[in-house]
């Protein structure tokens, strides 16, 4: 694959949350995202998985500068995005788009499908003629599997799946190089999820897109991703090429997540160990010391509470943040 | 599909969409009270505008043969009688209606414009700007309205334009608060974020996405503000701060009529009927609009 499009280094998003103090508040940083790094090439999909509240959505928005990052750097084609002014940022954003989770909420209810899809064009191609714009919108509608005769309909007249296709068309109309998909199918009916995922994969191949695919559904992530990153409490637990991650997960958290994925074959399902996650997600306001996962980790030892794990590399392109990754028995490895 | 193909399709088979406005309009038409109110308001407005030209007596002409209040008299052309100095009551009521409606509508437009701008900007931009604007609103809220208008009148004289400017300048406060609240809840919607990701500027997003989406609530509030303003104008006229003789408004007529109530009840009844009908209709229409624009609330 080709050049690196996106280079994210040690990205941090902390919110100050008022935790006390009557007149002068005392603030504790909520670490929604705490030092995440990755690279992304054209045509590559990075799957981002984790429980809700682990910082997945924050990651997507911080990369696109829809949320201000409090630390770290995002480089886009070698240029730093963090401290651009509004105008420069707008120019850079032309090639990065986002597809949202809630298909209906992400479309303005007072605008027609055509107007919604054309909105990026109006912002970035102010000189484009009406007719040209319309032709382009209709062409795009065809590419995402919508009837172009529906151009004058309003979002409430479409089904959830169709609304998501409108959202995808809006994201694709400027020929982006990077698309962040923030749980694009989790609000949809199970029966149409596959169609939308396949549409995204098709468009990705056709346009050589880099994609960040955020989801809590590990089967879908497996289907669409080239590499997968596992987040927990705003930190990366493990990042690896898809096959390596699914075949030989090294981090206890990844193993637990994978063991919870339903398997269609009952013999495999029975043979496979269940690593249930004990306890609840700790408050991100008061994350555990040392390894943030230790409060729920079946393999936690004393060192986990004292020292934050550093990066270990079990394989090429495979990074894991765990003290005990070597022992993290491959007995949990399950052939698909 | 090639773009040539798409272009060939053009508008030929395009399906018409049904916008939320069209939906609301249909629901409103099904609401009898609201529909009747709309019709009555239309008739009142039309009669007030055109009526005076068709009457035999102008509103400010004194019938010198009968310089006293007179009950309805068809032969003389005083269809609803005259007031205490012999001026035609119907003509005066209609002309007064023009003034009252105009004050109501214009002052509300002033309030609408300032209120929506301030509310949308405060809500959308947030932070310091929001703090500043909303504290200003709080401050102005604490100034008693009548006091404010009286001071203005004393400073600049009894000026018709000044009156609706003054009323509008006070009525926008509530509008700003309502719009700000709506904007805040809109701001967290994904389509606003999507608009930003699509390269929209703050001003563009406010105009394209925020304002159209708060308009429903604003329209309801407008229909409820107009009668308030009409009442306010009447109240000021009652205090003698309204429009000047021989010009008139419903408030002035009510004031005069109240003084004559025992001797000439029609001088009170005629303007009162017009005014209450108008106020009622605006309120019914406002209720109907609220139901029609936000069916979830029912
Ligand atoms: S570092 Fe310790 S607590 Fe953290 S995942 Fe590894 S074994 Fe578990």
Smallest CA–CA distance from A133 into chain B, residue: B7
- B-chain CB neighbours of A123 within 8 Å are 198-200, 204
Tell me whether the omega of the peptide bond preceding residue B246 falls within 30 degrees of 0, making it cis: yes
**From the alpha carbon of A237, which atom of ligand 1 is closest?**
5
Which class in CATH covers the domain with range B43-297? mainly alpha
The alpha carbon of residue B204 is apart from the nearest alpha carbon of chain A, in Å, by 9
Q: How confident is the model at residue A108 (pLDDT cuts 50, 70, 90)?
A: confident
**From the alpha carbon of A253, which atom of ligand 1 is closest?**
5
Beta carbons of B199 and A135 less than 8 Å apart: no
**CA of A322 relative to ligand 1 center, distance in Å:** 5
| The two three-digit tokens of residue A88, written as one number | 């420069």
Nearest CA to ligand 1 atom 1: A322
Nearest CA to ligand 1 atom 5: A322
**From the alpha carbon of A297, which atom of ligand 1 is closest?**
8
Least CB–CB distance from A154: residue in B14, B20, B197: B20
Does the CB atom of residue A272 touch ligand 1 within 6 A? no
Question: How much is the average pLDDT of B162-178?
Answer: 80
**B44 in Cβ contact with B98 (< 8 Å):** no
Q: How far is CA A219 from CA A157, A180, A228, A261, in A?
A: 31, 18, 12, 7
Tell me the HSE value of B2 on the side-chain side, using a 13 A CA sphere. 3
pLDDT at B140: 82
The alpha carbon of residue B191 is apart from the nearest alpha carbon of chain A, in Å, by 4
Q: pLDDT tens digits, residue range B117-145?
A: 888 888 888 778 888 888 888 888 887 77
**A235 in Cβ contact with A10 (< 8 Å):** no
Least CB–CB distance from A123: residue in B3, B198, B212: B198
Maximal C-alpha separation, chain B: 85
Question: Is the pLDDT at A24 greater than 80, yes or no?
Answer: no
Smallest CA–CA distance from B8 into chain A, residue: A135
Question: Is the pLDDT at A335 greater than 60, yes or no?
Answer: no
Q: Which ipTM score applies to this complex?
A: 0.79
Nearest to B280, CA basis, from B32, B48, B42, B41 = B41
**CA of A38 relative to ligand 1 center, distance in Å:** 21
Beta carbons of B20 and A156 less than 8 Å apart: yes
Q: pLDDT tens digits, residue range B247-286?
A: 787 877 777 777 777 777 777 787 888 888 888 888 888 8
Question: Is the pLDDT at B18 greater than 80, yes or no?
Answer: no
Which of A162-176, A205-219, B155-169 has the least mean pLDDT? Answer: B155-169
Nearest CA to ligand 1 atom 3: A294
The alpha carbon of residue A68 is apart from the nearest alpha carbon of chain B, in Å, by 13
Nearest to A221, CA basis, from A200, A252, A207 = A200
Nearest to A117, CA basis, from A140, A96, A101, A99 = A140
Does the CB atom of residue A323 touch ligand 1 within 6 A? yes
Judged by DSSP in three states, B51 sits in: helix
Write the DSSP assignment of B214-277 as a string of letters. Answer: HHHHHHHHHHHHHHHHHHHHHHHHHTT-SPPTTS--HHHHHHHHHHHTTT-THHHHHHHHHHHH
Beta carbons of B194 and A167 less than 8 Å apart: yes
Least CB–CB distance from B6: residue in A86, A100, A139: A139
Residues β-bridged to residue A241:
A227
Tell me the HSE value of A228 on the side-chain side, using a 13 A CA sphere. 27
Q: Identify from B190, B208, B211 which residue to disrupt to test chain A contact, counting A C-beta atoms within 10 A and taking the largest count.
A: B190
What are the residue boundaries of the structural domains of chain A, listed by start? 249-336
Residues 6+ away with beta carbon under 8 Å from B272: B254, B257
Does the CB atom of residue A256 touch ligand 1 within 6 A? no
Does the CB atom of residue A294 touch ligand 1 within 6 A? yes
CA angle A182, A183, A186 (to 5 degrees): 160
Q: pLDDT tens digits, residue range A125-155?
A: 888 888 888 888 888 888 888 888 888 888 8
pLDDT at A228: 92
- A-chain CB neighbours of B127 within 8 Å are none
- B-chain CB neighbours of A94 within 8 Å are 199
């Amino acid at each position: 694959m080709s050049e690196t499009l996106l280079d994210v280094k040690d990205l941090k998003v902390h919110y100050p949350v008022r935790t006390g103090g009557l007149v002068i508040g005392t603030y504790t940083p909520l670490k929604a995202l705490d030092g995440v790094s990755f690279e992304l090439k054209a045509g590559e999909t990075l799957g981002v998985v984790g429980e809700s509240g682990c910082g997945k959505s924050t990651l997507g928005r911080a990369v696109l500068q829809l949320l201000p990052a409090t630390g770290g750097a995002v480089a886009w084609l070698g240029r730093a995005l963090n401290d651009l002014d509004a105008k420069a940022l707008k120019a850079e954003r032309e090639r990065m788009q986002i597809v949202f989770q809630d298909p209906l909420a992400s479309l303005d209810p007072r605008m027609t499908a055509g107007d919604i899809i054309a909105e990026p064009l109006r912002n970035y191609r102010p000189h484009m003629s009406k007719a040209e714009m319309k032709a382009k919108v209709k062409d795009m509608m065809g590419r995402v599997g919508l009837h172009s005769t529906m151009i004058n309909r309003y979002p409430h007249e479409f089904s959830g799946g169709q609304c998501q296709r409108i959202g995808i068309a809006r994201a694709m109309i400027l020929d982006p190089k990077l698309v962040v998909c923030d749980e694009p199918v989790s609000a949809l009916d199970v029966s149409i999820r596959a169609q939308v995922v396949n549409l995204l994969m098709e468009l990705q191949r056709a346009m050589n897109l880099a994609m960040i695919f955020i989801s809590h559904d590990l089967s879908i992530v497996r289907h669409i991703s080239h590499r997968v990153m596992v987040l927990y409490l705003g930190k990366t637990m493990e990042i690896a090429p898809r096959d390596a991650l699914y075949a030989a997960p090294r981090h206890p958290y990844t193993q637990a997540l994978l063991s919870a994925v339903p398997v269609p074959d009952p013999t495999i399902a029975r043979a496979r160990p269940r690593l249930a996650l004990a306890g609840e997600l700790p408050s991100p306001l008061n994350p555990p010391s040392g390894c943030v996962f230790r409060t729920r980790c079946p393999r936690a030892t004393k060192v986990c509470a004292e020292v934050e794990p550093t990066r270990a590399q079990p394989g090429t392109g495979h990074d894991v943040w765990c003290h005990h990754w070597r022992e993290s028995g491959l007995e949990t490895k399950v052939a698909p | 599909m090639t773009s040539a193909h798409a272009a060939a399709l053009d508008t030929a088979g395009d399906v018409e969409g049904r916008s939320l406005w069209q939906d609301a309009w249909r629901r409103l038409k099904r609401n009898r009270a609201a529909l009747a109110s709309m019709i009555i308001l239309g008739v009142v407005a039309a009669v007030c505008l055109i009526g005076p030209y068709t009457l035999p007596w102008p509103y400010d002409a004194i019938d010198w043969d009968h310089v006293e209040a007179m009950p309805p008299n068809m032969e003389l052309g005083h269809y609803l009688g005259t007031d205490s100095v012999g001026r035609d009551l119907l003509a005066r009521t209609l002309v007064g209606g023009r003034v009252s409606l105009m004050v109501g509508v214009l002052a509300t437009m002033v309030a609408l414009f300032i209120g929506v701008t301030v509310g949308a900007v405060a809500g959308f931009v947030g932070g310091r700007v929001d703090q500043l604007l909303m504290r200003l609103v709080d401050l102005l809220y604490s100034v008693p309205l009548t006091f404010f208008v009286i001071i203005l009148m004393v400073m600049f004289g009894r000026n018709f334009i000044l009156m609706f400017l003054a009323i509008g300048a006070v009525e926008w406060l509530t509008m700003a608060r309502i719009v700000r609240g709506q904007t805040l809840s809109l701001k967290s919607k994904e389509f606003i974020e999507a608009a930003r990701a699509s390269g929209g500027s703050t001003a563009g997003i406010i105009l394209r996405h925020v304002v159209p989406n708060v308009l429903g609530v604003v329209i309801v509030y407008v229909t409820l503000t107009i009668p308030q303003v009409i009442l306010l104008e009447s109240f000021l006229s009652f205090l003698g701060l309204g429009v000047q003789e021989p010009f008139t408004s419903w408030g002035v007529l009510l004031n005069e009529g109240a003084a004559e109530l025992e001797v000439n009840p029609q001088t009170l009844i005629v303007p009162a009927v017009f005014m209450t009908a108008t106020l009622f209709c605006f309120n019914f229409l406002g209720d109907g609009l609220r139901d029609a624009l936000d069916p979830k609330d029912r």
